[in-house]
Amino acid sequence: MASSPATNTILTAAHWGPMLVDTDGENVLASRGALPGTFENSLQSVVREQVHSKTRVRYPMVRKGYLASPDAPQGVRGQDEFVRVSWEQALDLIHTQHQRIRATYGPASVFAGSYGWRSNGVLHKAATLLQRYMSLAGGYTGHLGDYSTGAAQAIMPYVVGSNEVYQQQTSWPLVLEHTDVVVLWSANPLNTLKIAWNASDEQGIVWFDRLRKSGKRLICIDPMRSETVDFFGDAMEWIAPHMGTDVALMLGIAHTLVEHGWHDSAFLQHCTTGYDEFARYLTGERDGVAKTAEWAAGICGVSADKIRELAQLFHENTTMLMTGWGMQRQQFGEQKHWMLVTLAAMLGQIGTPGGGFGLSYHFANGGNPTRRAAVLASMQGSVAGGVDAVDKIPVARIVEALENPGAPYQHNGMDRHFPDIRFIWWAGGANFTHHQDTNRLIRAWQKPELIVISECFWTAAARHADIVLPATTSFERNDLTMTGDYSNQHLVPMKRVVAPRDEARDDFEVFAELSERWEAGGRERFTEGKNDLQWLETFYQIAGQRGASQQVTLPPFREFWQANQLIEMPQSEQNARFVRFAAFRADPQANPLKTDSGKIEIYSRRIAGYGYADCPGHPTWLAPDEWHGNARADQLQLLSAHPAHRLHSQLNFTSLRERYAVAGCEPLTLHPDDARARDIADGDLVRVWNSRGQVLAGAVVSDGIRPGVICLHEGAWPDLDPQAGGICKNGAVNVLTKDLPSSRLGNGCAGNTALVRLEKYRGPSLTLTAFDPPASA
């Protein structure tokens, strides 16, 4: 009797943390988290589905109309059939057209600003490898900023001298020891702490669980009662303002502080600049409108009494304002975080143990103390003698660049011009799910002469490509990673679990081969003569050198790799007592911030000098183009929040979808009042639409959302049906969102700026096809 294949358990990692994966050598059998004492993370359970999915890109594929005449392509991207070709054919075709386009239009015509969540690991980051190859070829157009924090990361350097959104926070031990009041402002850490840019150290929800049991005063300010509010239960108060009105609410609190003399004049004088200029706006001296609690209540829908109560509460207690990023993904998003810092400065608690503000407690477990660590090196972007990006565009302005080649635009005080993009290569990203106004994107996407997508799965981006190259998943290659973007808590081997499926190849190998076609010796320049394990050993040895200065010793690489065990880094007593801005607060002259004045800038002369009406010189309430204040009676504000069981669009195709899909679509949360007005019951299929497009969704009727607001989580794969008026059958929210910049300063995305209409769907039954490969694939 034949024995069954032995099962091995291999340690690896993803954005959602270290995992143990069971395999028989050919197939993935099961997966689970590798760290004890953490909360269940659904994302860790579906490795098998990622590797063995029907949605995988199995072979190199070329759009039929492109293959017929690459110099003058026929057909329409997104509608054409695909033809299977060999790797040799695909790479020959790419190389020939790349040479032609670069020779004709120059390096700026090649967009390799490939954007998306990094492929997990220090070697196989798709965008880095793409840009390494393009630098060898002579340069390219790259991108500035990101979709997550585009507005905040532009404004914060003016205000506090760093981008702040990706900085370590005052340590959790100090918050638990010293903070009296914790405010989660537009933050849902129960969802967002499942993931990290590297691999999650999985400690964030553990810290929030301790907070839940601490007896402190806990408040969530959010138009929707999030999973986090449910997690905290009776320990947390939920306050629901009108969506997009956070600046007005903060101004009302700030005015109340001034009314009662509760603002910290000494801190404002000692550690900030420009408060007097801002105060003239706050009190109405300049524009005749005092930003009182009553004024704010009329805009934000939170009562004046509650606004005054918050002002007194924050003033009388050590208060930590923990904010998320969703509220700055709106028109005029720069104002949100600027005003939050201004409010914290008026309270005078910045730089104290447990007081002030924090912009990343909800992301990658900020506040989990940084370890004494041996930190891995990673693959750098360019090759020796290569050419880096010759131009960059704000990442959220890609559609405008395609629509208006050569057109002038403003960014962060600079006069710039959009490049003439003729060739796009996107690797390791899913722009059709993260960019606003999908139909506008599809139209602009027809303009370039060549679009190449490197992908594991048949995403909407792959379906709108000319050439699709099948990429390995991180479970089909070797790599290394750290856990904790701030903590560096673990060093984790990511050993190959199974061989690549079908004809999938590592991006590293693909770009090495193309580099050799570009020039004799190009492979050697790209790889520097090293294979994957040799690169990983190099990164590991650099980690060892870094660790030595922290009194951390690593075992020899081969011993580490063979052991299949993570290494936990030792705790640092000093880092466990870290207070953000403590040195600055103690002596601003000796420890200045990297702002123009060296202090917190409540008013920025430099920004005022730009003359941007959409980003004045101090925090200001600016009413967006689409919001509650100008909605018609039948319009609702659309909130696109982070989903619970995927990372943006990652894992949308897996069985995790069964945990949240309603009526076969994305769930849409709406208030009972809004449901009654439209004769909608819980579980109904509904149609949501505006001038930009229409989607189907499944109704979830709940009092856990503000009336007038509906929530459709971002990241659903677009599934537009041309036979049914282009309706999206999967509920992709960006079919509906408005594609406009947050302001001319940051040019961030404004995905939470949209009004829609809603009705029960009474049309024909439509079959979901988002996760089916093209028929010819």
Assigned token pair, 507? 């991006």
Whether residue 117 lies in the annotated active site? yes
H/E stretch holding 316: helix 304-316
Strand pairing class (28-33; 181-185): unpaired
Locate 137 and state its tokens: 């070829």
Q: How many Cβ atoms from other residues are within 10 Å of residue 7's Cβ?
A: 11
Tokens of 311: 């002002």
Q: Which of 251, 242, 317 is nearest to 284 (CA)?
A: 251
Cα 493 to Cα 475: distance, rounded to the nearest angstrom: 12
Residue in 189, 117, 188 with CA at minimum distance from that of residue 146? 117
Per annotation, catalytic residue among 16, 59, 66, 117 = 117
d(C-alpha 527, C-alpha 530), whole Å: 6
133 tagged catalytic: no
Cα–Cα nearest to 445, from 404, 402, 407, 396? 402
Question: Is 242 one of the annotated binding-site residues?
Answer: no
Task: Please state the length of the chain.
Answer: 777
Residue corresponding to tokens 């660790």: 547
Compute the distance between CA of residue 260 and CA of residue 558 in angstroms, rounded to an integer: 66
By CB atoms closer than 10 A (0-12, 13-18, 19+), residue 574 is: exposed
- Cα–Cα distance, 465 to 454 (Å, whole number): 10
Measured between alpha carbons, how far is 86 from 320 in angstroms, rounded to an integer?
57
Q: Is 477 annotated as a binding residue?
A: yes
Query: Residue 85 carries which side chain, given as an amino acid letter?
Result: V
For the CA atoms of 648, 649, 652, 657, the dihedral, rounded to the nearest 10 degrees, stands at: 30
b/e per residue 412-438 (b: at least 16 CB within 10 A): beeebebbbbbbbbbbbbbbbbbbbbb
Tokens of 63: 């759009």
List, in sequence order, every residue forming a beta bridge with 69; answer none if it has no partner: none
DSSP state of 670: E
Alpha-carbon distance of 457 to 462, in angstroms, equals: 8
Three-class secondary structure assignment of 143-176: EECCCCCHHHHHHHHHHHCCCCCCCCCCCHHHHH
With contact defined as beta carbons under 8 Å apart, do 185 and 368 qualify?
no
The position carrying tokens 């996760």 is: 771
* List 115, 158, 166, 325, catalytic entry: 115
- Is 434 part of any known ligand binding site? yes
Find all residues with CB under 8 Å of 533, minimum gap 6, and list them.
478, 561
Vertex 370: Cα angle to 575 and 497 (nearest 5): 160
Query: Is 124 labelled as part of a ligand binding site?
Result: no
Residues making up the annotated binding site are 117, 329, 434, 477, 507, 734
Catalytic center residues: 115, 117
